[in-house]
Structure 1
Amino acid sequence: MAASDSEIRAAEEELRRGFQTLEVVQKEPKIPVYHIYLNRAPQRNALTVSFFSELPQALSLLAILPSARVVVLAARGSHFCSGIDLESLRSLSSSTSADPATAADVLRRRILSLQAAISAIERFRKPVVAAIQGACIGGGVDLAAACDIRCCSDDAFFIVKEVDLALAADLGSLQRLPHIVGYGNAVDLALTCRRVSASEAKAMGLVTRVFPSISALDQGVDQLAEGLAAKSAVAVMGTKAVLLKSRDQKVEEGLEYIATWNSAMLMSPDLEEAVAAQLQKRKPNFSKL
């Protein structure tokens, strides 16, 4: 069900009030693309406790806006993300309870909450494109892996860092990377904690596009996002939903799911408009959600 005018205005107002760790920007009012920038450049965009509440909040607000058909997840400064802030990591792992079972339960609930914040990118119905420059380490890889399309500049590098911190990565890299880069590459990255260049990341499928500079990355990702935003929102969101569902299903289960999905969504007027536009050799005018 479409959001009401009052809900849209409330979401826009809340976005204008801003965040501590993020900056949310619509560069061009007529282009339905929003950018979420990690906004702690002096700290190389290390992820604090506040970030894990602000990211899902920002996404939930953008989900309401018809003017947000695509989201770009990017970062201010020279680096995308240096991982979880170490002070935040220490506070998350600490407990005031002397009971080991209680302390373990508290930590488990904290981890599940952090996982949910990253998974909010996948749950967001609209496509999310990652624009990565410089360091993408630890939690930064978790963020990137949850995005639908990943692009980077040629100075970018990637490290799954957790084993070197005496941890097993627990925010999604170990679950998502095997689907993205293959099981063997995922094991290599997770166990060795080695630095992977942009060119190697492209070769293994971690990113799909590499740009020669940060400015070229910004321009290229903007063009990519605008192209996605011009497509049928029903078709784009349906494709994202079905791909994610099929990723975790057997082929036959995925085929049945897409049959159920399209039995409803093919009734969309966007299909008729797409066919008409093709026949008339014009740009389609898709409906707004």
Structure 2
Amino acid sequence: MDQLSAMRVFVRVVETGNFSRAATALDMPKTTVTNLIQGLEAHLRTTLLNRTTRRVMVTTDGALYYERATQILSEIEELDGSLSNSQAQPSGRLRVEMAGAFADLLVVPALCDFHTRYPQIQIDLGVGDRLVDYIAENVDCALRAGTPSDQSLIARKVSEMQMITCASPAYVERNGLPSEPEDLTRDHHFAVAYLQAQAGRILPMGFERNGETKEIVPRYVVSANDARTYMTAILSGFGVAQVPLFMARDALADGRLVPVLTDWNCEPLQLYVVYPQTRHLSNKVRVFVDWLVKLVRTLD
């Protein structure tokens, strides 16, 4: 049995959910697919797939094997790519994670440009500000705000995002304007807090004026760990917040948000591309990261 071929066939069967569709995708007879799966199960002495007349279901052992098989096949693909002469046309699936605001407002609108340059790369985009196990989830890279704390990751700084302190007109009408950053910790003022998923803590708000810096942990009614939800809470009048200027620009222009504490500057937010050390030789990761760096710098 060609175990590598059987592994590839097994992964495709799991992903398509059907022997026939897997055979079509792999351009091989269905009997070959069936024989390879049977040979793999015999070799491993376990059942990987439960078959019915209508569908294929992955067993517990099969799910574990699928997780490791996808990692192994990805690493083989990356090794082959790093040693081949195909750098002009990298190919394969690329798993990318980023916050929803970056995806919606920045990356997805420009992805057609990336696809035109690299038509053989298939992007699986995971959206959200959550804690990611890069190895277990087979994530190739991520776009993250804030200095990474995971020392096992390679981090490449790509930009410093300009931030602005703002609130909705409804909040200002109801609560008034804060005059000092400390107002957000007392009296009748509130902030919309950002919950950092990786650390499980509320991010402080940073202020600077004439060399004086302040870091405030504000009172809040609502916190969120997703940038889009965070923005919705601000627009809904839940409090004062600090957001990247590119996210707030339209709302400021049409009056849905107004600047507050304008005599204090916000600390810029660092933006990084991070990826596991095992991914740094991959051509597909390299070209995507280089493209993403140029794209993000359009925010400067």
Q: Which bin holds the TM-score, normalised by the shorter protein?
A: under 0.3
Tell which structure's C-alpha radius of gyration is larger: 2
Name the one with the larger helix percent.
1
**How does the TM-score come out when normalised to structure 1?**
0.23
Name the one with the larger strand percent.
2
**How does the TM-score come out when normalised to structure 2?**
0.23
